[in-house]
A and B are shown apart, each in its own frame.
Chain A
Amino acid sequence: MEVIRTEGLTKIYKSGLRKIRALAGIDLLVGQGEIFGFLGPNAAGKTTTIKILMHLTFPSSGKAWILGSEAGSAAVKQKTGYLPEHPAFYPNLTGIELLSFYGRLFGLGARKNRERIHELLSLVGLRDAAKLAVGSYSKGMLQRIGMAQSLINDPEVVILDEPLAGVDPVGRKSLRDLILRLKKMGKSVFFSTHILQDVELICDRVAILIKGGIVSVGRLDQILAEEIESIEITAKNVSSDAVKAIGEIALNVIGSSDKCMIVVKDEETLEKIQAILGLHGGKIASIIPRAKTLEEHFIEKIRE
């Protein structure tokens, strides 16, 4: 069962006489129990997509569904949790009052509300700061109270916009652990980020959004497996003629005739090297293909 689905989601902003296309036909599918990473550079349209899912913004065309119903219906909102980017809360309320307010918006009864708040404050580690005014919270604390409010209704799907941005490494780890825990509880998590490391560490599937369009999508290991960055060949007793010929087609050659390391782009070039060595002399000691890191994949996609 898919928990999130979009079809041809498009958003066009009018700025004066100009039209800015923020999203150009986004098709997304997020499955049950997945942690889905929505990756993209700044201003790619990640936040716009999420705002459409949360009914904060209306698409120019296309549709979105959450848990099988159209995004924006009250039934859907009842089962969704959301944390916006740079969350802003009423500064004069205390942590407890804030969560209590949100709980009431979900129609939680007073007792249930209090129980949930208790649980959540422990979960995000804000028990001590709960009675302080939210206006005095640090950025890390704001993210944590933000996470708490996104979970107050025990949602089935949790949508987070840049949840780890600006958080210190310790905080990042605990938030990542929290997300993994949510998955263990059977929830689905969709989060956007421009920090690759977080995606590498916890995501099942990933979509890369660049300039309003999705350029890759799929399981993380599959995406990266498709991309071989380079192949490292260690060769011995390479004749000078061979070195010259190799130098013309290889990316890099390090070392001497006795033992050198040749870096080539792809398998095709590898075969050419093998042919050259066979012809002019030289022996291949090892062949090691190096997969792209997500970062390299990402940057390459941006350049395209």
Chain B
Amino acid sequence: MGIVAIALNTFREGAKDKIFYAIVVFAIIIMGSSRFIATLSVGQIDKITKDLGLATISLLGLLIAIFVGTKLVYEEISRRTIYTIISKPVTRSQFILGKYFGLLLIIGMTLTILTVFFSLVVYLNSNTLDAHLLKAIGLAFFELALITSVAIFFSTFTSPISSALFTMGIWVAGHFSGDLKGLGQISDSSLSRGVSTFLYYLVPNLSNFDIRGEVVHGVGIPHTFFLFSVCYGLIYSAAVILIATLIFRKRDF
């Protein structure tokens, strides 16, 4: 199908992009460096290694989602490689979906490589492997799927730099969403309460995907929470991509 062909092609193109290699190497260096601060960490090498590794994985995944995602669609249009694609029996929606899934493949592969390395470092430091760490990385992937959908959404109608800024803005707002909710509850005027509450539900609540602390400290995560968060990610991403396809369908090239 068109979506699969475009997705695989996007993956192949992206995997050859030099930025991807730079990011992976950078992440490996950071995670590897945790071995060297062992002496300073006063017995906390385990925790620091895990915290650093999980943060690195999620942050570098974020970089890929934003920097590759925002130029993905834009470049096809500006370089006009899209001409020979849309003129074939491929709908504009299929094109966007193909690009999206292709980028998710790239992110998935990056996370897998980094997770393997991460597990190696954790094993070297503590001689055990904790399967729960994978849960944290799994949720991080769904967070990235969400941010990627936002990046592609912006990429359908604005330049890569603006898209990147807007997407980063949404990411930051997503971490403050709890405060939006709080604001909504304490404010006096019903208008500002309404606006805050509306914004709270509109902006993606990214803390749903953050179980790093729980995982590192061995605090259990209820299965239902995990499941609901995954669903939240899927539904939100689907909605944003759908809006992106609607915008894209009206575009002249």
A residues whose Cβ falls under 8 Å from a Cβ of B: 51, 54-58, 74, 77-78, 80, 82, 84, 86-90, 92-93, 97, 101-102, 104-107, 146, 149, 153
The residue that B87 contacts in the complex, of A80, A86, A88, A97, with Cβ under 8 A, is A80
CB atoms of A84 and B80 under 8 A apart: yes
CB atoms of A51 and B253 under 8 A apart: yes
Smallest distance from the beta carbon of A107 to chain B beta carbons, Å? 7
Top-3 shortest CB links A-B:
A104-B5, A84-B83, A54-B87
Given contacts A57-B252, A80-B87, 15 further A-B contacts (CB under 8 A): A51-B252, A54-B87, A58-B252, A74-B91, A82-B84, A82-B87, A84-B83, A84-B84, A88-B80, A89-B84, A92-B13, A93-B12, A102-B88, A105-B5, A105-B90
B85 at the interface (CB under 8 A from A): yes
Interface residues of B in 2-50 (CB under 8 A from A): 2, 5-6, 9, 12-13, 16
Q: Give 20 A-B contacts (CB < 8 Å), ordered by A residue.
A: A54-B86, A55-B86, A56-B87, A58-B252, A74-B89, A77-B89, A78-B89, A82-B83, A84-B83, A87-B83, A88-B79, A90-B81, A92-B13, A101-B5, A102-B88, A105-B2, A105-B5, A105-B6, A105-B90, A107-B1
User: What DSSP secondary structure best describes chain B's contact surface?
Assistant: loop
A87 / chain B contacts, CB cutoff of 8 Å: 83-84
Smallest distance from the beta carbon of A294 to chain B beta carbons, Å? 29
The residue that B13 contacts in the complex, of A90, A107, A146, with Cβ under 8 A, is A90
Of all chain B residues, the one with the shortest Cβ separation from A59 is B252
A86 / chain B contacts, CB cutoff of 8 Å: 80
Of all chain B residues, the one with the shortest Cβ separation from A52 is B252
Among A51, A88, A106, A146, chain B packs the most CB atoms within 10 A around the CB of: A88
Smallest distance from the beta carbon of A156 to chain B beta carbons, Å? 14
Of all chain A residues, the one with the shortest Cβ separation from B88 is A105
CB atoms of A77 and B88 under 8 A apart: yes
Q: Provide the bound-state CA to CA distance between A43 and B86, in Å.
A: 23
Q: Provide the bound-state CA to CA distance between A105 and B84, in Å.
A: 10
CB atoms of A106 and B88 under 8 A apart: yes
Q: Provide the bound-state CA to CA distance between A84 and B1, in Å.
A: 23
Interface residues of B in 79-119 (CB under 8 A from A): 79-81, 83-91
Given contacts A88-B79, A89-B81, contact A55 B87 (CB under 8 A): yes
Of all chain B residues, the one with the shortest Cβ separation from A133 is B16
Q: Provide the bound-state CA to CA distance between A89 and B91, in Å.
A: 19
B2 / chain A contacts, CB cutoff of 8 Å: 105
Smallest distance from the beta carbon of B4 to chain A beta carbons, Å? 8
B80 / chain A contacts, CB cutoff of 8 Å: 84, 86, 88
Of all chain B residues, the one with the shortest Cβ separation from A153 is B88
Q: Provide the bound-state CA to CA distance between A149 and B86, in Å.
A: 13
Given contacts A84-B84, A90-B9, A92-B16, contact A106 B79 (CB under 8 A): no
A57 / chain B contacts, CB cutoff of 8 Å: 252-253
CB atoms of A149 and B16 under 8 A apart: no
B88 / chain A contacts, CB cutoff of 8 Å: 77, 102, 105-106, 153
Given contacts A84-B83, A92-B16, contact A56 B89 (CB under 8 A): no
Smallest distance from the beta carbon of A139 to chain B beta carbons, Å? 15
